[in-house]
Amino acid sequence: MLRVYEKVRTYIDNNGLKQISIAKKAGIPKSTFNAILNGKRTLYADDLREICIALNVSPELFIDIKTKL
C-alpha cells in the first residue's frame, strides 16, 4: 500500500505536472516539497491541504478513509 506522499508524487508524475509549479502554488519551498515527496520530511495535514488546493483535487484522492458500519 502506498503512503500518502507516494500517492501525491505518483499523481504529479502521471499527470505530467512540474513539482516546482505545484510547490509554488502550494506556497511550499521547492526543497521542502521535494523532501516531502521523497519521504524525507513529514507530510503534515496543512501541507496536504495546500498541495490539494494547488492540484485542484480532494485530499480523499490520496487518503483512504474507511468507515465502520
Instruction: Please tell me the pTM assigned to this model.
Output: 0.90
- In the chain, the number of structural domains is 1
- Does residue 46 belong to any structural domain of this protein? yes
Report the CATH number at residue 11: 1.10.260.40
Taking 70 as the threshold, does the pLDDT of residue 69 lie above it?
Answer: no
Has residue 33 got a pLDDT over 70? yes
Sign of CA dihedral 60, 61, 66, 67: positive
Using pLDDT thresholds of 50, 70 and 90, give the confidence band for residue 66.
Answer: confident
Instruction: Give percent of the chain with pLDDT exceeding 70.
Output: 96
pLDDT for res 27: 98
The residue segments making up the domain with residue 26 are 4-58
> CA–CA distance from 3 to each of 21, 38, 48 (Å)?
22, 11, 13
Q: Is residue 64 part of a domain?
A: no
Answer whether residue 37 is part of any domain: yes
In a domain, 19, yes or no: yes
In a domain, 63, yes or no: no
